Structure 1
Amino acid sequence: MLKNNILQLLKNNKNKYISGQDLCDTFNVSRTAIWKCIKELKSDGYIIESQHKTGYMLISEPDILSYIEIYPYLKTKFIGRNYIHFESITSTNDYAKEIAFKCDNGTVIVSEEQTSGRGRLGRSWVSNKGEGIWMSIILKPDLNPQEAVKLTQVAAVAVVDSIKDATGLSSGIKWPNDIIVDRKKVCGILTEMNAELDKVYYVVVGIGLNANVTTFPKDLNDKATSLLISAGKKIDRKQLTASILNNFEKYYGVYLSKGFSYIRTMCIKYSLTLNSDVRIISNNHEYIGHAIDIDDDGNLIVELKNGDRKTIMSGDVSVRGILGYV
């Protein structure tokens, strides 16, 4: 695409002028074509200085998560190499499910905002423009559905590592899909799949991460936070997005080749649920107990007040002292 090629050349020569004629010669196009692309780049938010007889110079790039902005940091072999970027979308997970059968394994959908973002149990997820990382990864693993469910925890480990790598902040996992910073939720993971009893056609791993959110609705103030609030400074969304994809591919490869054992070790290391009192709502039943382990299948093991042990495969888990459960 001519626009991206021009942008890359400008990026490679940032703060230096490139003449319009040099651009024409390099890409074998007319001055009019160059001018149209420069105009489009400016409308995208790129600050480009134009001088008669001198040419064009890139001054600064906008805070957007397009592929051309991400790929200098991307180290993956296949995750995110087919990368679809939107300014706005209803839900990246919903769009991913629409295209999953006809797109490549590892396709990533990223949007600057979601107008109908959602989390587990159909809960809404506020996804304001430019304030977070709202993305979905499409996978086509050779796994059975019971094994594919564990990809939620694979993603959780990847996000915790990426937050540390990109911001220096420590975070933890509230089993199985919430990432917590300063006792508040900063990220949620929603995994959905299309499968039969013994075959997975595709899995969509959705990640919603509050990177640079500054304010929350009143009902979320005591439950939600952002990396900006915790770090006290704006987060580079480009590096963080690439880091999540890099780490996810690494841990996904480990899971496929070696099984869940290593991922389980990491989940236990990062867990904010274990060794805590928990309240669980599962299949319309409420359980109160103490979380003591994550088993080889990724299930949460809870010791109930009467001494019995309960294996929790799914449900709404609240941890005492986190997200308002006191």
Structure 2
Amino acid sequence: MTGETIRSAGDGNRESDRRILEIFRQVHDGIVSGETLSKALNVSRTAVWKHIRSLRNLGYQIEAVPSRGYRLVGSPDILTPAEISAGLRVERIGSHLVCLRETESTNAVAFRLADEGAAEGTVVIADSQSRGKGRLGRTWESPNGVNLYGSVILRPAIPPHHASQLTFLSAVAVAEAIELTTALTPAIKWPNDVLVNGFKVAGTLNEMSAETERVDFIILGIGVNINMRREQFPADLRYPASSLAIESGHEIQRVRFIRSFLEALDRLYTGYLSSGYGPLREAWLSRSIVMGRQVRVAVGDCMVRGVVTGIDEIGALLLRTVEGREERILAGDVVVED
């Protein structure tokens, strides 16, 4: 991947690092003997020591306890496959992780990997992006080391006109992760903005490769402002934005949030494949900030006003105008008026 730096080495090393971290976190007093690690990994004690040294080089605080083994004292807030996958409980999404220090766009990387045959559930995550993508051709501000910038490869057996349903998949998963990792109450603004206290903290962007009657793959792009500081937001933002740290008053552990998000997305996607769009639609509506509200929607050069009555089978916004007409909005910017 030209111009991109991958966080860790080969798959074997990543798996060994993941197992070591999982073992540390399962032990009550935190001390694990070299012999225990050697047997669990089926490697020599010398190889165990090399893995410990590698983890220390990544920023893990691991101390040697004389005659007893090793203790994990602290973990850095870094995004590596080993750190994210330790304790991750998923069927598909996150089964393969690509973690980058920096890239132009995780969606661009994921699209390329999908074109090359990457498996469904592959997740690309970066610490920073130089050309993060937002809706309608906008950019997504992507400073280093504070947020989640990720993209997920899906290969659902659905017709292309149903692909827009999956926009709601990632928005609901982000909302669930916020509920699980903070005391904040998220709301979703059609189609894909996640708000906290009226401020945008997350957005999603889906891209698709398809033939006439079938989807080849879909890329779910996700950006979540986790620990972004006020001074890191550009002055010319189109809409008020914030971060989970600002709204909660304290920093959020990014790895914990990402694990919660991937597990929620995996569960919601499994439900979508087995039960269809209905349950996902209800989960979105239950968190919608626009349902039943008077809104105006900028659609190209036009402005449409009305009360939101729902979303249809492909995710279009349904409005009842003041004249009593039913309007179906496929794309646009929504502003709540009441």
Contact 2:31–2:68 (CA<8 Å) still a contact in 1?
no
Q: Deviations over 1:117-176 (max 9, x none)?
A: 111112111122221111111000000111111100122122212211121311111001
Among 43, 51, 60, the alignment partner of 1:46 is: 60
- Stretches of 4+ aligned residues off by more than 6 angstroms: 21-26, 51-55
Among 148, 151, 158, the alignment partner of 2:163 is: 148
Among 117, 132, 136, the alignment partner of 1:117 is: 132
Structure 1 residue runs without a partner (length 5+)? 322-326
Q: Deviations over 1:45-101 (max 9, x none)?
A: 112335898865432111123232223442211111111111222111110000003
C-alpha spacing 1:51/1:138, structure 2 compared with 1 (3 Å): same
Q: Distance in 2 between matches of 1:7 and 1:262?
A: 36
Percent identity between matched residues is 35
Q: Distance in 2 between matches of 1:250 and 1:7?
A: 24
Q: Distance in 2 between matches of 1:178 and 1:218?
A: 20
Among 131, 134, 141, the alignment partner of 2:146 is: 131
Structure 2 residue runs without a partner (length 5+)? 1-11
| Aligned: 1:254 with 2:268 | no
Matching residue's letter, 1:70: I
Among 86, 91, 96, the alignment partner of 2:105 is: 91
Q: How does 1:1-326 map to 2 (within 5 A)?
A: 1-2=12-13, 4=17, 15-16=30-31, 18=33, 28-29=43-44, 31=46, 37-49=51-63, 57-101=71-115, 102-215=117-230, 216-220=233-237, 223-320=240-337
Q: CA deviation at 1:276?
A: 2.3
Matching residue's letter, 2:114: A
Contact 1:73–1:243 (CA<8 Å) still a contact in 2?
no
C-alpha spacing 1:177/1:22, structure 2 compared with 1 (3 Å): closer
Matching residue's letter, 1:261: G
Question: Helix, strand or coil for the counterpart of 1:287?
Answer: strand
**TM (normalized to structure 2)?**
0.84
Contact 1:73–1:239 (CA<8 Å) still a contact in 2?
no
Q: CA deviation at 1:319?
A: 2.7
C-alpha spacing 1:9/1:170, structure 2 compared with 1 (3 Å): closer
C-alpha spacing 1:106/1:222, structure 2 compared with 1 (3 Å): closer
Contact 1:268–1:274 (CA<8 Å) still a contact in 2?
yes
Q: Distance in 2 between matches of 1:141 and 1:150?
A: 11
**TM (normalized to structure 1)?**
0.87
Question: Helix, strand or coil for the counterpart of 1:286?
Answer: strand
Matching residue's letter, 1:292: T
C-alpha spacing 1:27/1:72, structure 2 compared with 1 (3 Å): closer
Q: Deviations over 1:240-266 (max 9, x none)?
A: 212211111222222222222222222
Aligned pair count reads 319
Contact 2:309–2:319 (CA<8 Å) still a contact in 1?
yes
How well do the aligned residues superpose, as a CA RMSD in angstroms? 2.7
Greater alpha carbon shift after TM alignment, 3-12 vs 129-138: 3-12
C-alpha spacing 1:74/1:35, structure 2 compared with 1 (3 Å): closer
C-alpha spacing 1:117/1:288, structure 2 compared with 1 (3 Å): same
C-alpha spacing 1:168/1:306, structure 2 compared with 1 (3 Å): same
